[in-house]
Amino acid sequence: MKKQLAKFEDWPFRVPNWRKVEKKMDSLTDEFIAAKTAAEALSSYRTFSRYNQKVNDDLVHISVLFSLDTRNPKYIKAKEEMDENSPLLAAKNVRFVKAACESPFREDLEKKLGSFLFQMYDYSLKSFDERIVEDTIEENKLISQYDSIIAHAEVPFHGEIYNLPQMGKFMVDQDRKVREEASKAYYQYLEVIEPQLEEIYDKLVHVRDRMAKKLGYSSYVELGYIRMSRFDYNAEDVKKYRDSIHEFVTPLAEKIAQKQAKRLGVRNLKVYDLSVQFKEGNPVPFGSTEDKVNAAKKMYHELSPDTDYFFNFMVNHHLLFLEAKLGKQSGGYMTYFPVEKCPIIFSNFNGTSGDVDVLTHEFGHSFQAYLGRNIKVPEYHMPTMEACEIDSMSMEFFAEPYMELFFNEPQKYRYLHLADSISFLPYGVTVDEFQHWVYENPNATIAERNAKWHELEVHYTPWKVKAYEGCPYMMKGCRYLTQSHIFGSPFYYIDYTLAQVVAFEFFNLDRKNHEKAWKKYVKLCKLGGKYPFRTLLSKTGLKDPFKEDTLKKVITPLKKVLKDYGF
């Protein structure tokens, strides 16, 4: 980590000269092609790679600033330019990648850089070429439109205006009447923007289907798997895995919901009860955002020297953007600046226990980026998406022994977190199967898509569908419209469930032997993305979620933990 790094707000704001960048990338590729020896080719690769990182640094900065303030004209203009030009830069990258794959020195380069890099290169050539540049530009613009509509949401409630994340606090209020009123305001607002969101998604489905057909695929499902770097499993593996979730997890999640209703003193859960586990309300973390950050400082000081140093580094350099604000993009994420070798954490704190979830989750991502920062091949800095999520979700569980720092009733938080994590799995596979169906049936009507979503909810999360009575928006199958991954990162959702299963394995091990669990976790983080998902698991001695007995072995101990929590 560079000690001289400036605070984030002092970083220079640069919009690339797009034509100069394209010209430079072509020039560097020409130099690579002209290499006379393996050593010259390796040197050219490294030069191109350094330049690419510099450009990506500027693009990440633009994206972050826009997400922090989607109303700022300067950032809007820069983001629009980026949406327009990044596919053109992707085409230039493809030219270099193609040259690397066809290089007479490929065998020598693989020995120096690793064969997995060239496996990634081969995949990238399958996922993009100049024929789909215009389609990719359109895709980017549609995603930005969606993000902007969600970020600009203004929900009138009790005489004030709130964005969607800010409404979350009222929707888990201890007072059931407040929850009901907040829920009504929230979903009435979504009904207003529903047609816009449905239209954007319809356009996204068709543009992605068009891209897939241009590249010779039968549907976007094939292309989507390649874009998501699914190297060592396929759609059939995922289908079997979804079936296992339905068999082993849906019944447990339904029991959790039944006990939830009993604790709340209601015969049937309503939509505004689903996120509340206790009649007196969910546990609420202490104090302000600053208080939560200070609690996290103590936690990460106690957890390990590395987490202590790195969390303080992020605080001192103003790399945490935590509070919800009007005009700020919704959701939470970590992103990485390759030149500065540091990440930022973006979230929308709203005063609920979710603030602690997102802080520990995104710090897990950030910590992996920190541990992998000195990997020499940039493409190996971070793993593929499902492996990335192991790092974040496992950190949530490593943080659990320290919840006294955040809550008056930490045991309630632990129960809430575990119960929600288990219940998330059926929802996660609902999202995944829905996307498979959508891209296998790209010409389905909006009404047919909504009906399919509803059908899948009945299958995987029947207790939720019962709770939707009296809420037309949810009842007709519109829940997916506020799941941003479905719009911006198709097929990036099963990753969370796969990672959750592995995180449960870490949780089970941590309860038995913390030192062994932490050592294994650090090893996984340090490996970065040197291997594909299932190979990373085998390298660290972790169970494979796709194997038939894994889910049962991981889930079974959790039933006792839930019982031991006493709720």
List the alpha helices (DSSP H) in 528-566.
Answer: 533-539, 550-564
Domain assignment present for 41 = yes
220-227 helix and 410-440 helix, angle to the nearest 10 degrees:
140
Structure tokens at 116: 């997995």
The pLDDT value recorded for residue 548 is 83
Torsion of CA 234, 235, 238, 242, to 10 degrees: -170
Per-residue pLDDT, averaged over 325-341, amounts to 92
Per-residue pLDDT, averaged over 276-285, amounts to 94
Which pLDDT band holds residue 1 (cuts at 50, 70, 90)? Answer: very low
Domain assignment present for 300 = no
Which pLDDT band holds residue 331 (cuts at 50, 70, 90)? Answer: confident
Counted domains in the chain: 1
The pLDDT value recorded for residue 330 is 85
How far is residue 364 CA from its own chain's centroid? 12
The pLDDT value recorded for residue 129 is 87
Per-residue pLDDT, averaged over 252-267, amounts to 96
Dist CA 60 CA 68 (whole Å) = 12
Share of the chain above pLDDT 90, in %: 95
Domain assignment present for 86 = yes
- Residue 251 vs residues 419, 423, 460, 489: alpha-carbon distances, Å: 13, 10, 9, 29
Per-residue pLDDT, averaged over 296-323, amounts to 97
Structure tokens at 167: 């409404």
The pLDDT value recorded for residue 496 is 94
The pLDDT value recorded for residue 3 is 53
Q: Using one digit for the tens of pLDDT, what is the confidence trace for 167-207?
A: 999 999 999 999 999 999 999 999 999 999 999 999 999 99
- Residue 449 pLDDT > 60, yes or no? yes
Domain assignment present for 265 = no
Domain assignment present for 175 = no
Q: How many residues does the chain have?
A: 567
Domain assignment present for 335 = no
Domain assignment present for 129 = no
The pLDDT value recorded for residue 4 is 79
Domain assignment present for 14 = yes
Amino acid at 215: L
Question: For the purposes of burial, counting CB atoms within 10 Å of the CB of 137, is it exposed (0-12), middle (13-18) or buried (19 or more)?
Answer: middle
CA dihedral (393, 328, 60, 312) positive or negative: negative
Per-residue pLDDT, averaged over 397-408, amounts to 97
Per-residue pLDDT, averaged over 295-322, amounts to 97
Domain membership of residue 73 as a residue range? 8-123
Question: For the purposes of burial, counting CB atoms within 10 Å of the CB of 262, is it exposed (0-12), middle (13-18) or buried (19 or more)?
Answer: exposed
